Structures are given as structure tokens and as C-alpha cells.
Structure 1
Amino acid sequence: MSLLQNIGWRLGVLALVVAAFLTLMAIQELSDEPEIALVIGEPWEDMRQRSSARIDPAIPGQSWFNMANSHARLRFADPQYGFVTPLARFLTVSFTEEKVRSVRMSPQIEPLLLDDTLKVVLDLQDQWRKAGWTPIRIIEDPPFADTPELRARLRDVNKGGTSYWHAGTQYQVMLAVNRFKDYRHLTEERYLIKLSLAKPWTNP
């Protein structure tokens, strides 16, 4: 092996080691994020035991909701249709008879710029497609796509965008994006993402 080949081989090994290290660091960072991990319809206490973020107990005999007590991501723990959101500042879980009924959240810590907003919604849609979710109501509310037409629609404060997805006959999710006036960033276009998850509430 020539000197140049030896140096190239060593650099290749070093690049693989660095890539593996960065991957492990990313996995560790993700695993350290507080999360609410749940399945729709399961006992409330099962969710609390599985989650690393704190959420208060359900109220026996009542239909109500609780909020995560810190920033937290949602990990939908269904073995087939599972997905993970970014960290959220607003994440509520509703209950009926001490069972998880639905989730309402905004999967972001603060209102985002348009490019960052599209990264979040497109990643969520990719997760859903890979897990077997299918978009519904696609004529009225097509899935999000990074097109000039969609960007123009989202920039219109009177329009925004919405997409609906079904996981077989078990679950439904709604994803919506709207312009948001962020008083900390008055010179920037900021956006709010809303996500709702429950058993199906509309027809395909």
C-alpha cells in the first residue's frame, strides 16, 4: 500500500468514526428531550408511566385535559402508526374516564420562520407516509408541499393551510399552519403550527 493510499484509508476510517459519533450524539440528544409518550384510548396512568415529561393525573369520572408541565415532544407510541414531533411549548392531552382521548399541540417552542415551518410539517408528513397514514380530503385540503403556491397561501393571513390524515380506521390527525403576529419579531413573517390527534372524527 502506497503512502497516499494509506493516508486515504486512514482518513476514510476517521470520517466513519466521526459520523458514527455525531449520530450517537444526535440520538442521545433526542432521547434526553422530555416527552409525552401515549396511545389514544389507553389508560391515563400508562401514559404517565411511559412519559419522561410530567403531566398531572386524570380526574376520575371527568372529561377534561391536562398540559405537559414543561416543554415536551409528543411520541405517538402506536407500534404501527407511531411518529415523533419536535419539542413543543404547548401540548395538551384530554381524557375521558381516565383514558387518553385526544392531543392538541403546537410542535414548536416559538413561532417559526416559513422555511423552518415547512421543515417541521414536511417531516411529520414523511413520518406518517412511512408509517402507513394516508391523506384524506385531498381536494379541499391537500398535503403540504414546498411550492410557490403553498408559500403564497401561507403568507396570506386570511388563508393558511390544513391537511388531514387517517391511520386506517384507528386514528386521525389534523395539521394546520397560519401566519402569526409575534411581537418579539415584528419585522419577520412567523408561523404557528397546530396538530390535533384523536380517533377519526371525519369521513375520508
Structure 2
Amino acid sequence: MKRRYWVCLMLLTLWAADVLRSWYEREIALEIGGTYEEMLKRSSARFSLPFPGEGTWPGWPKSDAQLRFIDPQYGFVTPKSSDFYVIFNDNIIQSLTIYPQTEPLLLDDALQVVLDLQDQWRRGGWEDKKQKRFPPFADTPQWRAQLRNGPIGGTTYWYAGDKYQALLAMNRSKDSKHPEEERYRIFLNVGKPWTPYP
């Protein structure tokens, strides 16, 4: 009887750990050109229902979730987001927009997010082809001053060969929870190239 009790307790503990892990690691895993159903199978976060027969339509996670962008070469992962939208054409993923944070961040934390994304892209072979006009983010006094001194902030464009284009932007943002602090919001859009590959 005791042995059965301990076996049941161990199984219950393993089940609870698995539930907690899936709750904590909520993610949307997708690939541009993939289907809604493929995305659901790969993802641990729940997602809004489709709009069949509606042509172009948006969808979104039903909880905070990180993005896992699937590509054998160009894949990357973002932090959790509370603002995350996927655009479908019929049932096919066309593009995504994500604010890769759950609240506006302090400047050091926001820079860490954008620099990590750029590092992942560099390692995967993405290129910042427009760096003369839209240089990549960097932790320099010049970049910090530009980000602090106005709402425009900064924008950079990255290309994954001729497969994808990414727009990454960051600017100061008011935060009602922390009205006395400098907070920053990050914006990321990824899709098929919408401007010619340089």
C-alpha cells in the first residue's frame, strides 16, 4: 500500500512539473509560409480561432508568449510578449508583429533585448544591408542619447537572404506603472521582403 502511495505521489509530481513547465514556457512556434494548423501543433500557447474563407485575417496568442521563428538557418527566439499578432492569407502565415516584452523596459533591459536579437540574426546569416541609413542598435553613448532624446528612437532593417525582412525599432514610451522612469518599447515586424533586397 505504501509503495502504491509513493508511486502515485511521484507520478502526480511529474505531471504537475510538466504542467508548470508548459505554462512557463508558453511559446508560439511558426514559420512564414506555414499553416495555422502547423503553428498550433508546434506551439505551447493557446491561439485565437481562425477566420476560414476571410482572405487576410489576424490572429494572436491568448496569453503572454514568446516567439520561436522556425527556419533551418534563419530561426530565432524572442522574449515573452503581451502584444503579438500573426497575419494569415487564407490559412497561410504571411507576417508577424511582436512587441517582445510584457511591459515597457528600462533602457539597459531594452538594449539587451534588441542586441540579443541582432546577435541571433548575425549568427544565422541575417544582414543589416541598410546600415548606412539605418544602422543596427549598439550600446554606445551616441545610441543612448538618440533613444533618450525623443519619441522617434531608432529603427534598423535586417534581411535573411531574399527570404525574409525584419524591421526592428525601439523608442521611449510612457508607462503608467512607472511614470517617473524612462521606459522603452520595442517593435519587431517580420515577413517576406517588402522592400527590394539591396
Same fold (TM over 0.5): yes
Greater than 3 Å deviation, 4+ residue runs? 28-32
Partner of 1:38: 30
What is the number of equivalent residue pairs in this alignment?
Answer: 177
Which one-letter code corresponds to 2:156 in the other structure? S
1:73 aligns with 2:58: no
Report the CA distance between 1:186 and its aligned residue. 1.1
In 1, Cα distance between the equivalents of 2:100 and 2:118? 13
2:93 paired residue among 71, 79, 100: 100
Which of the numbers 138, 142, 147 marks the counterpart of 1:149?
A: 142
Deviations 1:64-106, CA, capped at 9 Å, x for gaps: 1011100000000111110000011111111001111111010
* 1:123 equivalenced with 2:155 (yes/no): no
Q: Per-residue displacement from partner, 1:95-118 (whole Å, max 9, x unpaired)?
A: 001111111010001000000000
Return closer, same or farther for 1:64/1:166 CA change in 2, 3 Å cut-off.
Answer: same
**Structure 1, unaligned stretches of length 5 or more?**
1-27
Is the 2:86–2:93 contact (alpha carbons within 8 Å) kept by the matching residues of 1? yes
**Paired position in structure 1 for 2:44:** 52
- After TM superposition, give the deviation of residue 137 of structure 1 in Å: 1.3
Question: Within 2, Cα distance between the matches of 1:103 and 1:178?
Answer: 19
Q: How does 1:146-185 map to 2 (within 5 A)?
A: 146-185=139-178
1:139 aligned to which of 124, 132, 142: 132
Q: 1:72 to 1:180 in 2, by over 3 A?
A: same
SS of residue in 2 equivalent to 1:95: strand
For 1:158 and 1:111, how far apart are their aligned partners in 2?
14
Scaled by the length of structure 2, what TM-score is found? 0.85
Identity of aligned residues (%): 53
Matching residue of 1:199: 192
- In the alignment, which residue of structure 2 is the partner of 1:111? 104
Distance (Å, rounded) in 1 between the aligned partners of 2:131 and 2:160:
15
Q: Deviations over 1:13-67 (max 9, x none)?
A: xxxxxxxxxxxxxxx9799410000000111110111111111232122211011
Compute the TM-score of the two structures, normalised by the length of structure 1: 0.83
CA contact (8 A) 1:61 1:96 kept: no
One-letter code of the match for 1:79?
P
What CA RMSD, in Å, does the superposition of the two structures yield over aligned residues? 1.6
Q: What is the match of residue 17 of structure 1?
A: none
Matches within 5 A, 1:79-98: 79-98=72-91
Structure 1 residues 45 and 110: alpha-carbon distance in aligned structure 2, compared to 1, 3 A threshold: same
Quote how far apart the aligned CAs of 1:130 are.
Answer: 0.2
Q: Helix, strand or coil for the counterpart of 2:128? A: strand
